[in-house]
Amino acid sequence: MRLAAFIATNMDIIVDEFVRFARTLEPAALGESVAELSDHAREILLAIVQQLPRHETPKQIHEKSVRHVSETGLPDTAAAQHGAARQVSGYTLPQLTAEYRALRASVLGLWMPTIKTLSKATASDMSRFHEGIDQALQESAINFANKNNQTRDTFLAILGHDLRSPLATMTLAGALLTRTDEGTERTAQIGARVKRSAAAMTTMVNDLLEYARTELGGKIPVCPTLGDLHDICQSAVDEASAAHPDCEFELIDDGETIGDFDGPRLAQVFSNLLNNAAQYRSDQRPVTLEVKSDASGWDVTVTNFGREISSQAQRVIFDPLVQLSVSSDQKGPASTSFGLGLFIAREIAVAHGGSISVQSSEALGTVFTVRLPRVLATGIS
């Protein structure tokens, strides 16, 4: 009997075999009914059965073998629904893949004893069945991962939002303790530490919220108004100087600095870059923030002469959750423990219709360049 006909005839037996295996995947399977455990197995097998008898050319076989390899979104198939449902039910990715291994073994274990002689048709059925299971597994795994990422990002957004209230209390307490009429010199010192810690934690929380926003499909909003890029840069330098009192910062601007900017957002970009530069600087040269203008826009560069960034690190340095390795010459702890500062800087630059890049060499130092156009990109709100 050809494999398609065998699966259709013995569907109930195959699904029962699958359910017996699924019950072993604890703790996720505990408390689930037979219908829940076999939820999509029947539909997945029926989809494979429909594909088995179809004639395919060598070109079609090759195209199918590479289809969806790098896709993150797929049609709403039974396999895709199965992956999302398993993530919600608390299954792990290894447990999900084990289900498909069991489904494959159940079908072939029941079918192979019925084969008396191996023929070309038998080999073709087996090959096509493996292709069908592999495609279904990929669709399930992609949707499982997508659902998992969405759950993680939603959690980060909720966490960041809920941490804002206690941080505001800490900031207020720090400000109160630093008042000279409220305590002693000792309490003022404690208050200053509380304020610095609260400010550092606020930066981390804000980075988490911005990251969660972008991962959940949103963009960082910018609200450009007429402003002075020099004032924005000076504000960033003042903030970085307070955070790194042992570091020398130098601000240089050349030409016109008036334009349409989201001042707080750009100050966040330049502060991130200055704090990053201060961590990896050398003691012999200052960290410089330079503004250059031309007919089409502005180039804002942050330069430090410290450890050279490898070409491999430069390719991923603006990706989220990426940090340079800590070395003995680093000047203090990282400004954020999440590796999100440069990612946020890139997203804000892009939201302004601009870009950000990095070059690093021993001779020229490490230079981050933010390009801001004079004409804002369409769609900026």
Whether 204 maps to a domain, the answer reads yes
Residues 369, 238 share a domain:
yes
Q: Look-up: residue for tokens 């826009």?
A: 297
Has residue 305 been placed in a domain? yes
Q: How far apart are CA 22 and CA 198, in angstroms?
A: 48
Q: Is residue 249 part of a domain?
A: yes
Report how many domains make up the chain.
Answer: 3
Of 46-50, 143-147, 260-264, 297-301, where does the model show the most confidence?
297-301
242 shares its domain with 328: yes
- Name the percent of the chain lying above pLDDT 70: 79
pLDDT for residue 88 is more than 70: yes
Task: Using the 3D structure, point to which of 169, 191, 215 is the last residue of a domain.
Answer: 215
Residues 203 and 294 in one domain: no
- How far out from the chain centre does Cα 32 lie? 32
Top-confidence residue, 335 or 278: 278
pLDDT tens per residue across span 306-315: 888 888 888 8
Is 241 found in the same domain as 210?
A: no
pLDDT band at 286 (very low <50, low <70, confident <90, very high): very high
Which of 225-239, 286-300, 327-341 shows the lowest per-residue confidence on average (mean pLDDT)?
327-341
User: What pLDDT does 62 receive?
Assistant: 63
265 pLDDT more than 50: yes
Q: With CA atoms as reference, report the closest residue to 218 among 210, 230, 207.
A: 210
Of 132, 150, 168, the domain-final residue = 150
Q: Are residues 236 and 365 in the same domain?
A: yes
Q: Report the predicted TM-score, pTM, of the whole model to 2 decimal places.
A: 0.54
Tokens for 278?
A: 């201060």
Structural domain boundaries, residue 48? 3-150
380 belongs to a structural domain: no
* Spatial separation of the C-alpha atoms in residues 219 and 210, rounded to whole Å: 8
- Same-domain pairing of 365 and 331: yes
Of 99, 133, 150, at which residue does a domain stop?
150
Judgement on whether residues 230 and 365 belong to the same structural domain of the protein: yes
Interatomic CA distance for residues 291 and 283, integer angstroms: 23
Element (H, E) at 147: helix 120-177
**Per-residue pLDDT averaged across 142-162, rounded?**
75
> 321 burial class (0-12, 13-18, 19+ CB within 10 angstroms)?
exposed
Together in a domain, 140 and 169: no
Is there a single domain that holds both residue 137 and residue 201?
no
End-to-end CA distance of the chain: 64
Report which listed range, 92-106, 184-198, 231-245, 288-302, is most confident: 288-302
CB-based burial of residue 91 (10 Å sphere; 0-12 exposed, 13-18 middle, 19+ buried)?
buried
Inter-residue contact 282 to 304 (CB < 8 Å): yes
Q: What percent of the chain has pLDDT over 90?
A: 24
Lowest mean pLDDT among 87-91, 127-131, 203-207, 358-362: 203-207
Mean pLDDT of the chain: 81
Look at residue 379 and tell me if it is in a domain: no
**Token pair 């073998």: residue:** 65
Strands 297-304 and 287-293: antiparallel
More confident site: 143 or 200: 143
The owner of tokens 């303790």 is 177
pLDDT band at 380 (very low <50, low <70, confident <90, very high): very low
CA distance readout (Å), 328 to 19, 279, 284, 307: 56, 11, 16, 10
pLDDT greater at residue 166 or residue 158: 166
Q: Which of 72-81, 176-185, 282-291 has the highest mean pLDDT?
A: 282-291
The residues, ordered by sequence, that sit 6+ positions from 222 with a Cβ below 8 Å of its Cβ are 262, 265, 348, 351, 352, 380, 381
The pLDDT of residue 53 is 77
pLDDT confidence of residue 198: 80
